[in-house]
């Protein structure tokens, strides 16, 4: 498969599975827009892609800040006239059993902010580009670990655990995917989400004290499948477990819960009046 002329943004692509996705899409001819927080790692990834004959550009941004998410979106829009695929991959793991509650630059629970809210805002800001590049795809990298959202305490100020925060943020990604897919039906922009692989050999997994069970190539296979596989053209509103369509947590199919999450997210990101 060749992807010449396609522009693909992969958030969180200076390490782990995101880096492998950027490398493989670049090798297929896509212009890989690499994102991360660390300038040094970003430069090394882009240099390696260039050495392999791929086209790549690094865009730094800390997704724990909504202002930086907006700056990232502005820069992408200024630098490119099209965006064919957006892969929302950046995230923070559970942190293991001793994880402490932290907040983002905007005062939101950190895992909810980085894993979900940043992707929600970035997608909204880049959606006009995706609409003019149809057929285009949005892929949200979620997890099989999913915890229902308590809308009375979304920021988990009571009974906090890193595992609960992480799995709640991943279910939020899936709910967002289903909701956005429904609203973009028949526009030429599709939205899918997935659990790429179980306990990949990544920094996130090792920092949580978990023994890796899968490789980053396993996860990259699944992400690339949703991002560019011709046989999935037009498929939208689906959740995949690796390469197979699967069922998500029941809350993901609750229209009322999805609307509540959407309204909350619009307020928190400043896309709607507080």
Q: Decide which of 3.40.1360.10, 3.40.50.300, 3.30.9.40, 3.40.50.720 is the CATH code for 7-269.
A: 3.40.50.720
Q: Render the burial of 139-178: b for 16+ CB within 10 Å, e for the rest.
A: bbbbbbbbbebeeeebbbeeebbbbbbbbbbbbbbbbbbb
pLDDT at 70 over 80: yes
Query: 33: which DSSP letter?
Result: E
Domain boundaries along the sequence of the chain: 7-269
Per-residue pLDDT at 14 = 97
pLDDT at 222 over 90: yes
H or E segment to which residue 136 belongs:
strand 136-141
Tokens of 132: 């003019």
- Choosing from 116, 147, 166, 239, the catalytic residue is 166
Per-residue pLDDT at 96 = 82
**What Rg value do the Cα atoms of the chain yield, rounded?**
17
Q: Work out the average pLDDT over 2-24.
A: 97
pLDDT at 254 over 70: yes
Per-residue pLDDT at 8 = 98
Tokens of 149: 């959202």
Predicted confidence band of residue 213 (pLDDT cuts 50, 70, 90): low
pLDDT at 113 over 70: yes
Would you call 166 a catalytic residue per the annotation? yes
Compare 97 and 156 and report the one with higher pLDDT: 156
Predicted confidence band of residue 169 (pLDDT cuts 50, 70, 90): very high
Per-residue pLDDT at 198 = 83
Number of Cβ within 10 Å of residue 216's Cβ equals: 21
Q: What is the pLDDT of residues 42-68, one digit of tens each?
A: 999 999 999 999 999 999 999 999 999
pLDDT at 201 over 70: no
Q: Beta strand pairing status for 85-88 and 31-36?
A: unpaired
Q: Beta strand pairing status for 244-245 and 238-241?
A: antiparallel
Listed residue (53, 7, 52) closest to 32, CA to CA = 7
What does pTM read for this prediction? Answer: 0.95
């Amino acid at each position: 498969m060749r992807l010449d002329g396609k522009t693909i943004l992969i958030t969180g692509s200076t390490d782990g599975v995101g880096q492998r996705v950027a490398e493989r899409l670049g090798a297929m001819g896509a212009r890989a827009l690499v994102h991360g927080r660390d300038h040094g790692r970003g430069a090394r990834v882009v240099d390696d892609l260039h050495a392999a004959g791929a086209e790549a550009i690094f865009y730094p941004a800390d997704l724990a800040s909504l202002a930086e998410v907006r700056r990232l979106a502005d820069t992408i829009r200024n630098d490119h006239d099209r965006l064919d695929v957006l892969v929302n991959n950046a995230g923070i793991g559970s942190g293991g059993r001793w994880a402490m509650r932290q907040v983002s630059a905007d005062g939101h629970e950190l895992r909810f902010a980085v894993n979900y809210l940043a992707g929600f805002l970035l997608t909204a800001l880049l959606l006009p580009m995706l609409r003019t590049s149809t057929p285009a795809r949005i892929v949200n990298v979620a997890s099989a670990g999913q915890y229902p959202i308590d809308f009375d305490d979304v920021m988990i100020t009571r009974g906090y655990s890193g595992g609960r925060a992480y799995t709640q943020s991943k279910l939020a990604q899936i709910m967002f995917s289903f909701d956005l897919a429904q609203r973009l039906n028949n526009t030429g922009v599709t939205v899918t989400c997935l659990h790429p692989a179980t306990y990949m050999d990544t920094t996130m997994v090792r920092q949580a004290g978990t023994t890796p069970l899968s490789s980053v190539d396993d996860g990259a296979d699944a992400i690339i499948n949703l991002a560019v596989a011709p046989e999935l053209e037009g498929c939208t509103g689906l959740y995949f477990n690796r390469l197979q369509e699967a069922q998500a947590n029941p809350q993901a199919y609750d229209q009322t819960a999805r609307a509540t999450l959407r309204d909350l997210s619009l307020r928190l990101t400043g896309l709607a009046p507080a």
